[in-house]
Structure 1
């Protein structure tokens, strides 16, 4: 019998990829979307074979009706407190009301459990929802993928193609950073959604690579020797982020605040995934660092 999986946030990039991976595994996939969702995105999901259910996401009873008969609800929502906390709570409440046994929250990021509250706004939102989720009886599983590997393409301080530089903070030129491609994250999440024995927390990484490793990969991929540099101490970086946030109060209401990238960079140099669950599902293959670098560095 096919397992029924419902995805929230299916019109987003990660959500649509999770739907695709679930369909590959012959799951019965449905998606709840706002009545105001982009018709083209809804049509794309429907053509994939996803049953799209338009609901008023402010109404728990409508969410519960959509969740009826579902084995697991997967949340791939992205946003601020009104989404990550408030909307996810309503979806969780609807799932519980419908008797759904399992829930995967939108924790697609670095494992924040050992990080200090207050250092990353988006992690704090996920912490707030986690506290609510863990106070219910539903079986939950979080997928922690570190950073999405695509950020390496966007000229961040860690890898800046425009400036031909690689940066790090503190004495951490050999510190391993956790990166996972969105495709790898989606495939793993699909496996977790279908795995009734999945544990509470699962750490993954397509590859773990240090700034020095990145330098070597870039050289092998392109023949170029990028400048590698310490940007500051971690303590100075933390003070800079605090000031940057204080100077930009409007950012509290912006999904991509000016200081949010810095907070993510700081977290990447503050914690690592030490218990990778990559081998849990033997049919998965993982993107390697050099192969990924070669896909966009020439």
Structure 2
């Protein structure tokens, strides 16, 4: 649509108000003005299904689907009803709720390649927990990230490798190395160069292109041979490529995997899942030094977990 045809006076006013109070004019960088065509900065009023409306009344097809977090469409009735039901029963308690039991059981039934799961609110917390756990169980300092994938975490170990690295000590960044997607030879060379130093390989198992034949299985073999942890970031692929994500579609089981976005249909919920032997290091029944895995006040809000369960049965 020609932006000259759009009338955005209320959006422009609201946008200026945002910039006056919020750095970047949005609480998420991916929602910022610099991510969209010049002079097209609508401020959203509401959404339904695949459509959203701005505060000026213009309707759009939201191809981005809430930064790909809205898997079933805005305000999906089954999800909304599940959330509403839990909101009337209390959203957060001093001890685990029965919803945490049910949500964990539902998740592990949906993603049977995982043996344990822990919920959080955002993807960065989950991926950083995976990295911390990998470092703890291997005793190694370095993290190998896929260079061809755009984003893994807001935390220092990853953001220090991006152009927005201000404020991050070089010592944190130096421990992160990279490997190219689809190139097993280059990855093996990296693991050999840093023999005994790489704690984990972390990557999106698939993107807009299919993984080369045998690639994911080859990574699994490399991780096993070099003694590092294989982590699949399934923030995008989870509940999209298959119910169990890319690992379910391609039949390659990672040691750890992280989920979010589509899991809650827009509600804040993410998950770290994986092998019991590793995950128990963050619990009370594991051996070795306990890992501070994930612990957030709002990590198991009942309404977000109810949304996740509704997504998995819709």
Q: Give the TM-score range, shorter chain.
A: 0.3 to 0.5
TM-score of the two chains, using structure 1 as the length reference: 0.34
TM-score of the two chains, using structure 2 as the length reference: 0.33
- Select the structure with the greater relative contact order (CA < 8 A; seq sep ≥ 6): 2
| Structure of greater Rg | 2
